[in-house]
Amino acid sequence: MLWIARWDSRNPTDGQLLYSEGLLSSLDPNGASVEVLATIRDETANIAPLGERTHLAPSRWSRALSLLTPLPSDAVRQRTGAFLHALEAALARHPDAIIFDYYATGWALEAVQAYCASRGDQRPVLVYLSHNHEASLRRTVADQYAGNPAMRLIVRHDAEKAARLEDKLVEAVDIIATNTDEDGALYRAAEPNKQYVTVTPAYSGAERPAGEITEQTARRVIMMGSLLWIAKQENLRRFVAAAHERFSAAGIELLILGRSDPAFLESIEHRSSTVRALGFVENPLPYLYDSRIGLMPDELGGGFKHRVVNYIFNGIPVATIRSQAAGLPLDLDTDLIAAETVDELVDAIVAAIDDLARLNAMAARARAQCDGKFDWVSRGKTLLDAIRSGRHRLTTDSER
């Protein structure tokens, strides 16, 4: 099996990398042999090679120069001569399945399709591993971007290129794997005859053995996760604007942990005296355990939200926009603080912050509902079963 990835997913720092690495690590226990092609990240540049993984240097093209190409900016840095050479060598080893991990790896589709044509009935099963329904997500982000007008045009232009690349992938592959049923339904509306499988993420991080929110727990809302993408930054700006006056009046701190542009974090702190933005910290658990609520404030965005599961398995009740709770085995009305908009979410947080009995009960219910349901090995089996089914369909079709 050949796995074409955007970035080396070891030492993951965001949800996309967690999902990729979790699935990759789950395939070997299920008896699958996988060769991985990926681009080096700064966080993995000095890590020794691991098994059948080839890590290549990124292109030197800047995001600005990507405007001159037909590819979206996410794809430009992966499309290099060295990567294409490594891809051709991997194809010569005749993989039985090829996984395009993330839409940006669609730049490799032309070479893969040429290889498949040369193999005839013996071609591999092609799988698109989606992290979001990119076409709808990126167009929504572009439409609702409230920053510099020139940047909005750039974001819109890049969104259209991303949508075209994803459309080509969806049309070409045999199997579309999504991390929520909701995303699967969006793809199925355009391509009803494809094979679909939902592979929800699992969790292998820290788990708090026991804990309780008490009067001594800081009156703090914590938000964890990478803030490098423009959509994540826009979501946080909206929440801070909505929360500033009410959090200030209620004496609630908003603590932000995660990788981001320092200038962006500084601008967020300047927007509200209730915000403390620490950026990346090596060990976030002490901050997490001294917080009353974990926040997922995204109004823009799709796919499964990994940070929510992180909160749940560490005993922290979750406050989220309702649309962002897809894939969770929870009752949104009792197991979470869930609201339709950020304004409603702010009000719900202020109302709940001192109701310790409710917060502890909510955290306990969510943990109980999630225990035993987030195992990576089972996710790998789900993906492999779908690939084997796809192989059977190809074989059956070729015999007709």
Q: Return averaged pLDDT per consecutive 10 residues of the chain, 400 residues in all.
A: 95 90 93 93 81 84 75 89 95 97 96 96 96 89 78 87 96 96 94 96 86 94 90 90 96 95 92 93 94 92 81 95 87 94 97 97 94 94 96 75
d(Cα 217, Cα 129) in Å, to the nearest integer? 40
pLDDT reported for residue 302: 66
Q: How many CB atoms lie within 10 A of CB 388?
A: 14
CA distances from 101 to 174, 210, 280 (A): 14, 36, 26
Burial 143-176 (b: 16+ CB within 10 A, else e): eebeeeeeebebbeebbebbbebbbbbbebbbbb
d(Cα 273, Cα 46) in Å, to the nearest integer? 39
The closest of 75, 82, 7 to 47, measured between CA atoms, is 7
Instruction: Look at the chain and count its residues.
Output: 400
Which pair of structure tokens corresponds to residue 390?
């796809």
DSSP helix, strand, coil percent of the chain (3-state; round to 5): 50, 15, 35
Q: Name 279's bridge partners.
A: 257
pLDDT reported for residue 52: 85
pLDDT reported for residue 67: 77
Q: How many CB atoms lie within 10 A of CB 292?
A: 26
The residue type at 304 = F
The answer to whether the pTM exceeds 0.75 is yes
The closest of 282, 358, 257, 359 to 315, measured between CA atoms, is 359
Which pair of structure tokens corresponds to residue 157?
């232009």
d(Cα 93, Cα 33) in Å, to the nearest integer? 12
With residue 357 as reference, give the H or E element that holds it.
Answer: helix 356-370
pLDDT reported for residue 209: 76
The count of C-alpha atoms lying within 13 angstroms of the C-alpha of 295, restricted to the half-sphere facing its C-beta, is 30
d(Cα 106, Cα 126) in Å, to the nearest integer? 12
d(Cα 83, Cα 96) in Å, to the nearest integer? 20
With residue 368 as reference, give the H or E element that holds it.
Answer: helix 356-370
